[in-house]
């Protein structure tokens, strides 16, 4: 098996694959230092390409592989996954499944039939959207909190967007593992999100209700999901409201690995072969990750690299709004873990200032 890991950021997938003993190559946007330390890597940064899912796909076609695991971004481009299917074995959800689960009318219609709660959602033209304080607008190709706004002016006037009620509660992500028919619940994380809805990270494990676990499995089986998948919910006072399915390994995978003592890449591959016989071992601690974004044009250069810093960029400048790195933390309680994340973020900033 010549395995290709293809994602906007392949570092967590690559580290998981290395631990499990897979031979692989990875292709991603930046080719971070620790991604290359995990194994052979190609990056759009080195090719000089634009940072897009389409660019990843086009570059992948020039590589030698027989199997591919795709990550963030590809869920919105089933036509690219269909292209992979003509070339190799896709280890994950096929293009037909992506078209099924990322068709928003179909998605919410299926939830309604199953009696699953979700925020009131309409598909409208951005130019005609009537936005109030209790609503947000989402791109139909949303991901990672990108392209979520409170004004239709942020979209092309003719673009179809989701107009969705805001539900008060805690944003959580669950992880299910499926073989295309049956699904099993692995665990849940609390999501860390910025005020503008941008994805920042996760903390695991999160204690959930039986309703959350059962709802996650039902959604996975409705859409015949394969491999490791994520489902986002808002936990409100009256229970969980489903937001979306991320039908591929998610950003939460590494904290779930730490919290439950599993190997997510190995679990993903085996589930796609029909093996759902995995066991989890709670570590007794909470684990968190937080992505640090550049507040302005930022110089990155660390002479010493602490082990709590991941997604380490190569020396140089990172433009405003771009991801700089990720900090990893832990604690005996979820609040202690959040506190440790804040400390690690401050330590990173102190190190950055020292190396200016």
Residue 150's pLDDT band, with cuts at 50, 70 and 90, is low
pLDDT in tens, 87-118: 999 999 999 999 999 999 999 999 999 999 99
What CATH number has the domain bearing residue 74?
A: 3.40.50.20
Residues 183 and 132 in one domain: no
Residues 268 and 295 in one domain: no
Residues 229 and 142 in one domain: no
**Range 48-56 average pLDDT:** 98
Q: Residue 105 domain-assigned?
A: no
Q: Residue 114 domain-assigned?
A: no
Q: Residue 317 domain-assigned?
A: yes
Beta pairing, strands 135-143 & 146-149: antiparallel
Residues 161 and 192 in one domain: no
Q: How many domains does the chain have?
A: 4
Residues 199 and 223 in one domain: yes
Q: Residue 99 domain-assigned?
A: no
For residue 162, the tally of other CB atoms under 10 A from its CB is: 21
For residue 106, what is the DSSP state?
Answer: H
Residues 83 and 19 in one domain: yes
| Per-residue confidence (pLDDT) for residue 152, from 0 to 100 | 45
Q: Residue 263 domain-assigned?
A: yes
**Range 1-11 average pLDDT:** 98
Across 106-159, the runs of DSSP E, i.e. the strands, are 121-125, 135-143, 146-149
* Mean predicted lDDT score pLDDT of the chain: 92
DSSP calls for 82-97: HHHHHHSEESS--HHH
Are 334 and 311 contacting, i.e. CB atoms less than 8 angstroms apart? Answer: no
Residues 44 and 124 in one domain: no
Most confident of 123-137, 292-306, 310-324: 310-324
DSSP helix/strand/coil, 334: helix
Q: Which of 1, 66, 27, 248 is closest to 14 using CA atoms?
A: 27
Residues 22 and 81 in one domain: yes
| Domain coverage including residue 140 | 120-165
Beta pairing, strands 24-28 & 3-6: parallel
Tokens coding 32: 């971070």
**Range 330-354 average pLDDT:** 94
Phi first, then psi, for residue 135 (nearest 5°) are -135, 155
Residue ending a domain, choose from 218, 248, 272: 272
Residues 172 and 268 in one domain: yes
pLDDT in tens, 169-221: 999 999 999 999 999 999 999 999 777 778 999 999 999 999 999 999 999 99
| Per-residue confidence (pLDDT) for residue 156, from 0 to 100 | 55
Q: Which of 193, 99, 206, 216 is closest to 144 using CA atoms?
A: 193
Residues 173 and 253 in one domain: yes
| Per-residue confidence (pLDDT) for residue 161, from 0 to 100 | 82
Residues 87 and 22 in one domain: yes
Q: Which of 114, 67, 105 is closest to 87 using CA atoms?
A: 67
Q: Residue 278 domain-assigned?
A: no
Q: Which of 250, 201, 204 is closest to 225 using CA atoms?
A: 250
* 338 or 304: which leads in pLDDT: 338
Helix (H) and strand (E) counts for the chain?
11, 19
Q: Residue 113 domain-assigned?
A: no
| Per-residue confidence (pLDDT) for residue 226, from 0 to 100 | 99
Residue ending a domain, choose from 217, 245, 272: 272
pLDDT in tens, 245-299: 999 999 999 999 999 999 999 999 999 999 999 989 888 899 999 999 998 998 8
Q: Which of 341, 312, 311 is closest to 13 using CA atoms?
A: 311
Give the whole-angstrom CA distance, residue 347 versus residue 164: 38
* 222 or 143: which leads in pLDDT: 222
Q: Residue 40 domain-assigned?
A: yes
Q: Which residues pair with 27 in a beta bridge?
A: 6, 42
């Amino acid at each position: 098996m010549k395995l290709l890991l293809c994602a906007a950021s392949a570092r967590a997938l690559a580290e998981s694959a290395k631990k499990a003993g897979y031979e692989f190559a990875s292709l991603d946007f930046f080719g971070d230092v620790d991604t290359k330390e995990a194994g052979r890597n190609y990056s759009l940064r080195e090719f000089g390409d634009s940072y897009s899912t389409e660019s990843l796909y086009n570059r992948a076609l020039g590589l030698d592989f027989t199997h591919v695991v795709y990550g963030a971004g590809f869920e919105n481009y089933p036509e690219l996954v269909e292209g992979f299917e003509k070339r190799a074995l896709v280890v994950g959800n096929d293009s037909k499944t992506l078209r099924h689960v990322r068709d928003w009318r179909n998605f919410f219609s299926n939830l309604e039939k199953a009696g699953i709660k979700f925020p009131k959602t309409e598909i409208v033209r951005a130019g005609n959207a009537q936005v109030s304080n209790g609503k947000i607008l989402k791109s139909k190709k949303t991901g990672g909190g990108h392209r979520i706004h409170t004004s239709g002016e942020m979209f092309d006037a003719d673009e179809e967007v989701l107009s969705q009620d805001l539900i008060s509660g805690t944003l959580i992500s669950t992880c299910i593992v499926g073989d295309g028919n049956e699904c099993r619940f692995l665990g849940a994380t609390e999501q860390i999100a910025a005020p503008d809805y941008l994805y920042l990270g996760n903390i695991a494990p999160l204690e959930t209700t039986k309703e959350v676990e059962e709802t996650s499995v039902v959604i996975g089986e409705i859409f015949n999901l394969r491999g490791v998948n994520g489902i986002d919910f808002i936990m409100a006072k009256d229970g969980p409201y489903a937001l979306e399915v991320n039908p591929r390994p998610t950003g939460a995978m590494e904290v779930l690995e730490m919290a439950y003592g599993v190997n997510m890449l190995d679990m993903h591959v085996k589930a796609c072969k029909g093996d759902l016989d995995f066991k989890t071992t709670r570590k007794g601690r909470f684990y968190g990750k937080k992505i640090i974004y550049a507040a302005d044009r930022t110089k990155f250069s660390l002479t010493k690299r602490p082990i709590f810093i991941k997604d380490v960029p190569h020396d140089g400048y990172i433009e405003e709004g771009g991801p700089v790195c990720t900090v990893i933390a832990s604690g005996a309680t979820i609040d202690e873990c959040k506190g440790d994340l804040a400390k690690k973020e401050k330590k990173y900033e102190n190190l950055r200032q020292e190396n200016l």
